Chains A and B, each alone.
Chain A
């Protein structure tokens, strides 16, 4: 069991990344909150972090990913959950809102582009760009090879760029 201070430290350092991952699975922010709580309870009950831990963030994301996949399976079949997720309009944001109108427009564009990706590509792109994990670490988190992570990332970035192309030209026009 982890001491309370250690639990609080893990929450403060990794809750944002883990929450971001849960938002990719959840139907709404309440689900994401429940998942976040379940994840921290699981961490609190564990005997501590593994001794051979190279990257605490990637270990936290790995435990969170497994929890989210289990949660999806419990909610119905995994495939059905993915379909339901992809069909419905998203009711929450992935990023904080921006004060600058141009940046806000780009933020919305990135969110739109990310939402249009299949979830496996969404996760790889998020873990690489915003959590700054290496492809090897992403592979460990998602139980895929580093090469698969790399190719998913390439597809994701290409798609996001294509989606944002028109928006950029609109904003950059004098």
Chain B
């Protein structure tokens, strides 16, 4: 017996029930590359929108609810003004401080 006889043995074929599944999968997954790009852009857009909403939320939470509270919070952030001394004022205005004191 030689190779010609061995050839008469039929190699195992994939089961018939796989055919539809595999062809179906190959057809479904061959989604156009443009669609993948579109999905990517959609993803980026959604991420940007989410970030925007999160920023708005943080700003909203950090902001006092009433006008007086707002004014208070602003007032706390501004350092109290020191009354200008005559010496400093005179120096700025090129005047003689002794005269004013």
Contacts and interface: CB of A to CB of B under 8 A. Distances in A.
Interface of A is mostly: helix
A4 B19 CA distance: 13
Interface in A82-116: 92-96, 98, 103, 106-107, 110
Contacts of A16: 11-14
Given A11-B22, A40-B22, A2 B30 contact: yes
Contacts, number: 88
Given A23-B12, A168-B1, A110 B6 contact: yes
B23 A11 contact: yes
Contacts of B79: none
A161 B5 CA distance: 12
B26 A37 contact: yes
A19 interface: yes
Given A8-B23, A40-B23, A43-B26, A19 B32 contact: no
Interface of A: 1-2, 4, 7-8, 11-12, 15-17, 19-20, 23, 32-33, 36-37, 40-41, 43-45, 92-96, 98, 103, 106-107, 110, 126, 128-130, 157, 160-161, 164, 168
